[in-house]
Structure 1
Amino acid sequence: MPLPENDAGVGYSFGLEVDGIQIKHITEISGLKMEQDVVELKQNDSKGNYVIKKIPGRWKAGELTVTRPLNADNSFKDWVKNAQLGKMGDVRKGGAVILYDYENAPVARYNFTNAWPKSLEMSTLKAGDTSVLTEKLVMTYEKLEAE
């Protein structure tokens, strides 16, 4: 469902699904990017003039960074551990980043294919700090498509 004319989406209303499971408590997602190579075709035209034509190439793989508060859910840690053990059949997952409107109806969906965790980083630990501890998961994917 598209947004009404002259309305815009808001950056705080989004969700993440991995293999059909809604991941809760996500505070930030970055790296949502669809990109492809550019191929330069260098040739001469019928008058002998040198011409460069740019044509679309192959899709580029990408990376998503997902941040959430540290909690009792060990799914990110388990996913990374399985990747480190080389269990790629279990590790590669499909999913989506979903954007919602003001009434929580989905307005856009970005589906990713064959994602697996590249790294998991804990926020900085600092004596006297009162900020919430977070974990930041970087996952690489093979393709991102908008729906």
Structure 2
Amino acid sequence: MPQTGQRVDPYRSFNFLVELDGIAQASFTECSGLGSTTEVIENREGGDNTTVRKLPGKTTYTDITLKWGATTSMELWEWRLQIVQGLVVRKNGSIVVFDLANRTEVVRWNFDRAWPTKWEGSAFNAKGSEILVETLVLAHEGLARV
């Protein structure tokens, strides 16, 4: 932990790596959707007619969206295809952020029991010069910063 008055710069969002069990996808251009929400249960207690008590309910996790430039790699497509064919294969994974020198891991989020709910291909435009971008949306059952 830094000393009082010591400057602490925030981490940069562009130097990250996505790890998925058994998948060696080289790199992703974007990762979004790290989040969780806990439901609020409102409860009135007898005799206290002016205040509503708020209790925590179930927690849900936001789907993680991954985007990458299309290559010859078929691993993510084949994982999605397994789901389409009725074979649910879940994988654990991590989002890892590195320092500017790309040598030291500075923060990591682990997610549990993920499976691809959606795949989307790139739009095509004969007048453009953009790269082909594929998108994969992952549902998961837990998120922890370690």
TM-score by length of 2: 0.87
Query: Identity, % of aligned pairs?
Result: 31
Matched residue count: 142
Q: Relative to structure 1, is the Cα distance of residues 34 and 99 closer, same or farther in structure 2, using a 3 angstrom cutoff?
A: farther
CA contact (8 A) 1:80 1:119 kept: yes
Match of 1:25 in 2: 27
- The one-letter amino acid of 1:31's match is G
Report deviation, 1:100: 1.6
State the superposition RMSD in angstroms: 2.1
Match of 1:131 in 2: 130
* Superposed counterparts of 1:53-68, under 5 Å: 53-68=53-68
Report deviation, 1:21: 4.8
Distance in 2, matches of 1:77 and 1:20, equals: 14
What is the aligned counterpart of 2:93 among 92, 95, 102?
95
Distance in 2, matches of 1:83 and 1:109, equals: 27
Q: Which has the higher strand share?
A: 1
Q: Relative to structure 1, is the Cα distance of residues 34 and 101 closer, same or farther in structure 2, using a 3 angstrom cutoff?
A: farther
Distance in 2, matches of 1:138 and 1:21, equals: 15
Moved runs in structure 1, 4+ residues, more than 4 A? none
Distance in 1, matches of 2:133 and 2:142, equals: 27
Deviates more, 1:68-77 or 1:4-13: 4-13
Listed as ranges, the gaps of 5+ residues in structure 2 are none
Distance in 1, matches of 2:25 and 2:55, equals: 38
TM-score by length of 1: 0.86
Report deviation, 1:50: 2.6
